[in-house]
Amino acid sequence: MAAHLDVTTVAAIVGFVFVFCLYLIHIIALSYSKYRLHHQVNPNSSLPGVSVIKPIVGTDKNLYQNLESFFTTQYHKFELLFCFHSSNDEAVDVVRSLMNKYPDIDAKMFFKGENVGLNPKINNMMPAYRAARYPLVLVSDSGIFMRPDGVLDMATTMMSHEKMALVTQAPYCKDRDSFDAAFEQLYFGTSHGRIYLAGNCMDFVCSTGMSSMMKKEALDECGGIANFGGYLAEDYFFGRELANRGYKSAISTHPALQNSSSVSISSFLDRICRWVKLRIAMLPHIILVEPLQDCFPSGLIMAFSLKYLLGFNVTTTLILHTIYWISMDYSLMTSMQNGSLGFSAGKFLLIWLLRELSAPLVFIKALLEPTIRWRNNVFHLTWGGRIQPQNS
């Protein structure tokens, strides 16, 4: 029978199956969020100690609040290790004031890092990693606000299985007032959250490093963090190498609450563009799939596939497809939020539309400008994700 199918029919069937799989990913992500997220965790003094490594560059008006949430964490045994490229960093005074406010908390500062590769974050964290005293290491970005039971939650998940070696928090955002912050929150509660939750449910490696806990012994088997200094997306390669050695990974029950005060739509789209460039370099085959997985491109694929195969009306299919997509995205975001959103349904629709319309433009920009700019650095990546030296 397959021999009698023409190219257009095959393309229509492939298009239908592809978009139907996207519909299933929506269902998997939403179902897994209901199953996995926002459970109560109970104190357990038998859990191992945690060394929290905080790489910091610069400050914003929310930094004090974010860092203080770690000083007040409800965990029985932990240390805070703050890493700076320079002792002149303006955030040093913020950390010092918190250390003075909480003198009973074991907190230290490290400066200048150690040159082990081309990834500045790895270099910055090296002295703290070497000094870490506890079996569990939590790498947490400076923009993360930690719930009082967040460290407990991650450690509990870590010790739930003897082969567990990597626990991440699903990226999300703390409620903030601005339109730009709502744009960021919607992205992580819909497009990004969908793939992250579904991927973790199906045991794919899709770890992000903004809030990531690892067993130090397992990571040392992989050569420690220094072994990943040649990669810009070190978080993904942590997960891949641990998985290759037979270790398991999971997400904790509470999402990571990003809480930067300096977010803007333009800077955030640049951030997304940087991630697209990283994925293209690490997994080149996604060039064929990534631009088609959002609502409107996939809706066109489904509409014309059903039109060709079954004669369905294109406009009707597009409307039904979009209603399904919006409703599933809204449901997923409320699940990650664990309640009502911090903005109206009308504002959700407006931001959702802007996000979906901007996605193809971001992807095109990533293809046309493969060079990655991160803070004050410029990086060129080889296929596979390794950083290419500047003189190459």
What DSSP assignment string belongs to 274-309?
Answer: HHHHHHHHH-GGGGGTGGGSSHHHHHHHHHHHHHHH
How many whole angstroms separate alpha carbon 306 and alpha carbon 200?
A: 31
Task: Please calculate the CA angle 284-205-218 and round it to the nearest 5 degrees.
Answer: 125
Taking phi first (over 0 means left), then psi (-120 to 50 degrees means alpha), and beta for anything else, what does residue 142 get? Answer: alpha
Choice among 153, 235, 294, 329 that is catalytic: 235
DSSP 110: E
Please confirm, yes or no, whether 235 is among the known catalytic residues.
yes
Count other Cβ atoms within 10 Å, centred on residue 177: 9
Give all strands (DSSP E) within the chain, no chain letters. Answer: 50-56, 78-84, 107-111, 136-140, 144-145, 164-168, 171-173, 211-215, 248-251, 256-258, 372-374, 377-381, 387-388
Q: Of 207, 193, 195, which is closest to residue 290 (Cα–Cα)?
A: 195
User: How does strand 377-381 pair with strand 387-388?
Assistant: antiparallel
Q: Of 197, 196, 282, which is closest to residue 240 (Cα–Cα)?
A: 282
> Is residue 279 packed enough to be buried (19+ CB in 10 Å), middle (13-18) or exposed (0-12)?
middle
Contacts of 346 (CB under 8 A, 6+ apart): none
**What residue type is 330 in one-letter code?**
Y
Catalytic center residues: 235
